[in-house]
Amino acid sequence: MIIAQSQQQLTFEQFLRQLPDEEGRYELVNGEIMRILATRQHEDLADSIIRQFDREIERLGLNYRVSGRIMIRTLTPEGREQGRNPDVSVVDRTVWESNPTGYSALVEPLQLAVEVVSTNWEDDYIDKLDEYQRLGISEYWIVDYLALGSRNLLGNPKRMF
């Protein structure tokens, strides 16, 4: 579920400066600050994916950082800046460490973005897919554990992979 926080059309930089101090996850969508509210099941699944990636990265000695708190700047087809917060982000550690005092916001593409689908599944299947491709994120996973996506996207009958 997403809840609007403001009516002012913000840029990505303004969004980062105006993020609320209260706990939670936020995105910049259509110029507005949106608070992201996830179910416990959603959060547990995202946390599990992060832990599994962390174990594999350590086991294989890869130069990646995994987080559920990385903000990325994306662009809509009209060129409007968005601030997306994937449920799971995998980023090259060299990119991450290049600015150690910076906020956890990136304009560089991630190696992998993972979205756990919620009731606003169209955002994950359509809007974020387009924005992540536009940014140059080469791999994007959609975890639709409840098969909420439309039959056009998942097949009829819906197929789970």
> In total, how many domains does the chain have?
1
- The answer to the question of residue 14 being in a domain is no
Model confidence over 104-157: pLDDT tens digits? 789 999 999 999 988 777 788 889 999 999 999 999 999 987 776 655 665 555
Q: Is residue 122 part of a domain?
A: yes
pLDDT digits (tens, 9 = 90+) for 63-106: 999 999 999 999 999 999 999 999 999 999 999 999 888 777 89
Virtual CA dihedral for 52, 58, 60, 61, nearest 10 degrees? Answer: 150
Whether 23 is in a domain gets the answer: no
Q: Which residues contact 37 (CB under 8 A, 6 or more apart)?
A: 1, 2, 3, 24
In a domain? residue 26: no
Q: Is residue 84 part of a domain?
A: yes
